[in-house]
Amino acid sequence: MAKGKIEVIKERCKSCGYCVKYCPKQVLAIGKEVNSKGYEYVYAANPDDCIGCAICGRMCPDGAIDVYKL
């Protein structure tokens, strides 16, 4: 069961991959779809594994991830 939920503000994502690298549960992945700036934005590939730790949100230099505790 997921203990957290994330929402990516896709227009802010620059596809840097920090959040993917630092998520302790391998929840995130760079997607195939691009935003209006041409960046492939992040999505939750394994949403059920999210623990709501918010590391991804803190790591993102562009404030592109909101984290909610469930």
Range list of β-strands (E), 11-69: 28-34, 40-44, 65-69
Q: Which is nearer to ligand SF4, 34 or 62 (CB)?
A: 62
Smallest separation, CB 36 to ligand SF4 (Å)? 14
Side-chain half-sphere of 43: how many Cα atoms within 13 Å?
Answer: 8
3-state helix, strand, coil in the chain (%, to 5): 25, 30, 45
Residues that bind ligand SF4 in the complex, under the rule CB under 6 A = 4, 6, 8, 13-19, 23, 25, 27-28, 42, 50-56, 59-60, 62, 64-65, 67
State in angstroms the smallest separation of the CB of 48 from ligand SF4. Answer: 11
